[in-house]
Amino acid sequence: MTASWRSRPATKDDGAAIARLFEAVFNEKQPISHWRWKYVDNATKMMCTVVAEDSQGIVGQCALLPTWMNLRGLRVLGAQRVDSMVHPDYRHQGMFAALAKDCYALAGAQGIKLMYHFPNEQSLPVSVKELGSDYVGELVQLVKVLNPRAVIQHRLRSAHIASIGGKCLQFLLALRESRDRPIQPEPFAITKITRFDDRFDRLWLTVKDRFPIAVWKDSSYLNWRYLSCPDREYSVLAGESQGDVAGFIVLRFEEGPIKRGYIVDYLFAPEKPAAASRLIQAGLDHLKERGPDIVLCRILQDSPYRALYKRQGFLKRGEHLRLLARPLASDVDPSTISDLKEWHVVAGDVDVF
């Protein structure tokens, strides 16, 4: 359909119309409560969304999710590009690129310094060639198989083969895991957290210089992201020692043909591998109580944490996400934010997890 439309900044009253567009584009419903949590009540209380509108209503969207970020020790406004949508009847008219340019201009006016995103195959060429994003690296998927029989049966649809293959794979995985896990345990208590407090602020300030570009993981952000989400349940474990916090791990469980556990977020000092290893194992033990067949984790390809997950039996498998970034202010050097070694990104920094 070729029709006239105009772009404008979205408002908090647009939730119902945007939800209808979301369903038309992705064939799934987005609860209004989730939309308000994400776009209106986020950790910055800022809204940076541009929509396309015609006489029929909202037919397109480009949205940035504002968040405070660490940029080489400075707390600055950043954003993740999320939920880019064009109604099927309005595609191939240049709407996506036009909305993105308007959205980036709005973000710059709001003081947002940089943005990052994980484009799909359709939006990748436009993001790079027309919208100025630079490729940074890959957020790889790590997988730990806990129930080989269920995984094999799901793929091959054969209970007999799954029984034999599952036993063999279980043996090989156990052998690899016993070989790769020699770190001595860390002497601290593992506690389930129901609220992030000022101890997590101190933890972030202790480790932030290790991660020159990252979401600013203070208690305010963490409480919003993991403990205020209206339609997803997360579990948080912390390693506590002498009244302080040495690290934390955020977990999620998902039912399905293959039951999945997710390690969504984690933060611990890279120079304390024993503490990190203890928390990862505690997270796995917690997830096993729900009976997942596999546990998945996202990690940057050059992350200092990758070896820790390898020791716990995680393997690089599945689809990886491309991390792209773009400055939105003239005082941010593009070369600074295109260096993968500067970044710390986890699954929870992607809005879909």
- Give the tens place of pLDDT for each residue, 243-288: 889 999 999 999 999 999 999 999 987 777 788 899 999 999 999 9
| Residue 192 pLDDT > 90 | yes
Burial 41-67 (b: 16+ CB within 10 A, else e): bbbbebbbbbbbbeeeebbbbbbbbbb
Distance in angstroms (rounded) separating the CA atoms of residues 272 and 292? 28
List the beta bridge partners of residue 61: 51, 85
Among 28-42, 76-90, 141-155, 339-353, whose mean pLDDT is lowest?
141-155
Distance of alpha carbon 247 from alpha carbon 241, whole angstroms: 10
Question: Span 328-352, mean pLDDT?
Answer: 95
Question: In CATH terms, are 6-132 and 140-322+342-346 the same topology?
Answer: yes
Q: What are the tens digits of pLDDT across the range 33-42?
A: 999 999 999 9
Q: Could you tell me the fold of the domain covering 6-132?
A: Aminopeptidase (3.40.630)
Model confidence at 193, pLDDT cuts 50, 70, 90, reads: very high
Strand residues in the chain grouped as ranges (E): 6-9, 48-54, 57-71, 74-86, 114-117, 134-145, 189-193, 213-215, 235-241, 244-254, 260-268, 294-300, 315-316, 321-327, 343-344
pLDDT at position 243? 81
Two tokens, residue 300: 């940057």
What pLDDT shows up at residue 122? 87
Lowest mean pLDDT among 260-264, 305-309, 326-330: 305-309
Burial class of residue 250 (count of CB atoms within 10 Å of its CB; 0-12, 13-18, 19+): buried
| Straight-line distance from the first to the last Cα atom of the chain, in angstroms, rounded to the nearest whole number | 34
Is residue 140 classed as helix, strand or coil in its secondary structure? strand
> Can you give the pLDDT at residue 139?
97
pLDDT at 91 over 80: yes
Under DSSP, the state recorded for 183 is P
At 199, the pLDDT band (50, 70, 90 cuts) reads very high
Query: 140-322+342-346: CATH homologous superfamily?
Result: Gcn5-related N-acetyltransferase (GNAT) (3.40.630.30)
Q: Where are the domains of the chain?
A: 6-132, 140-322+342-346
Band the pLDDT of 340: cuts 50, 70, 90.
very high
pLDDT at position 25 over 60: yes
Residue pLDDT, tens place only, 159-184: 544 444 444 555 454 545 544 554 55
Listed in sequence order, the residues at least 6 apart from 340 whose beta carbon sits closer than 8 Å to its beta carbon are 136, 137, 300, 301, 302, 323
pLDDT of residue 205: 95
pTM metric for this prediction: 0.89
Task: Specify the range with the lowest mean pLDDT, choosing from 17-31, 89-103, 179-193.
Answer: 179-193
Mean pLDDT within 318-340: 95
